[in-house]
Amino acid sequence: MAGVVHRYRHFGGRGYHQRVYLERAKPLEQYTTEELYARFRFGNADIKYIADLVRAKLQRRTRRSHSLSVEEQVLIALRFYASGTFYQVVGDNVGVDKSTVSNVVKAVSIALASLINQFVSLPKDDQIAQTKQKFFILGNMPNTIGVIDCTHVHIQAPHERDWEYINRKGRYSINIQLVGDADLIITNCVVKWPGSVHDARILRESALYRELQTNRPDGIILGDSAYPLLPWLMTPFLAATTPAQARFNTAHCKTRCAIERLNGVLQRRFACLNYLRVEPQGACNITLACIVLHNIATRRNVPLCDVHDAPEPVEEPDQPLHNIFLYI
């Protein structure tokens, strides 16, 4: 990253500090395309495209005090999303202070989250036929336009109303509802509910539910047995008693596995979603940013890098983690 980072040197007894300027890293110049994918999950052209999307919200009015450019801010945020490590480690890697990383990740996440309606939407009329065909090829389930499921993003214990965020496995989390297509594009999302809230309630109180209850879609969405059976939402038979029901369940399972793969790809691409050391609102903004970036990466055919430089996910405990607080 072109620019400098401040370090302060103490002089004399009067507390005078002199700024010492150190060179920042320059990833776009320093790394090959493969190395950019491994560290930031995007290539040079993709990073510039993302920077242009958020430029209006992140552009600094002046370069006074060597402020970060939009590209530098995007790179810092992408490095955090990709690795999920501590802000201090990200700052050491790119040559900025820990507090700067925190502020940048917050600003970039809010800017990307504001683009959610631009990049996340259900298939349009002219896309529905192709969507149905792809799902049918996937699992022989006709008339399918989407698959739905919830996934948990683990967070540190919130400072307020922490009991609401304890999920059924005893961990603090945000419960995220996702709808996806056969290409693993996210077509709808709800990112706001505490981990204790059931999947069916998240759906019932969503804008998606109100819209599809009022205006029946030209097709069906597949969900697991946690969801209610609705005219536009198909769930499997709890106990298949006939060959026809067994075939239906098989086709339903093979088709619905697309949402399981989508969840896996999302958390593999952005390791930060395995555990976020932030308050719930910050976790929601980061998750929305990762959803936008996931759809950008999928539509631009960005390869999913096989290099894993992120810390191992925290193992599920047998007992609730009520008194553990991790701070950045």
Is the CB of residue 127 less than 8 Å from the CB of residue 65? Answer: no
pLDDT in tens, 172-209: 999 999 999 999 999 999 999 999 999 999 999 999 99
Strand partners, 177: 150, 190
Question: CA dist 243 to 4, 37, 143, 159, 249, Å?
Answer: 69, 47, 21, 52, 10
- 139: Cα within 13 Å, side-chain hemisphere: 24
- Determine the pLDDT at residue 60: 76
- Taking residues 116-136, report their average pLDDT: 96
Burial profile 60-90: b = 16 or more Cβ within 10 angstroms, e = fewer: eeeeeeeebbbbbbbbbbbbbbbbbbbbeeb
CA distance 40 to 100: 18
CA distance 218 to 143: 8
* Residues whose CB is less than 8 angstroms from the CB of residue 14 and which lie 6 or more positions away in sequence, other chains included: none
Question: CA dist 87 to 105, 241, 276, Å?
Answer: 9, 54, 11
Instruction: Find, among 196, 130, 129, 202, the residue nearest to 168 by Cα.
Output: 196
Q: Where along the chain do its domains lie?
A: 4-113, 120-299
- Determine the pLDDT at residue 18: 60
Cα angle 39, 296, 117; round to 5: 130
- Determine the pLDDT at residue 241: 94
CA distance 251 to 43: 37
pLDDT in tens, 52-74: 999 999 987 665 556 899 999 99
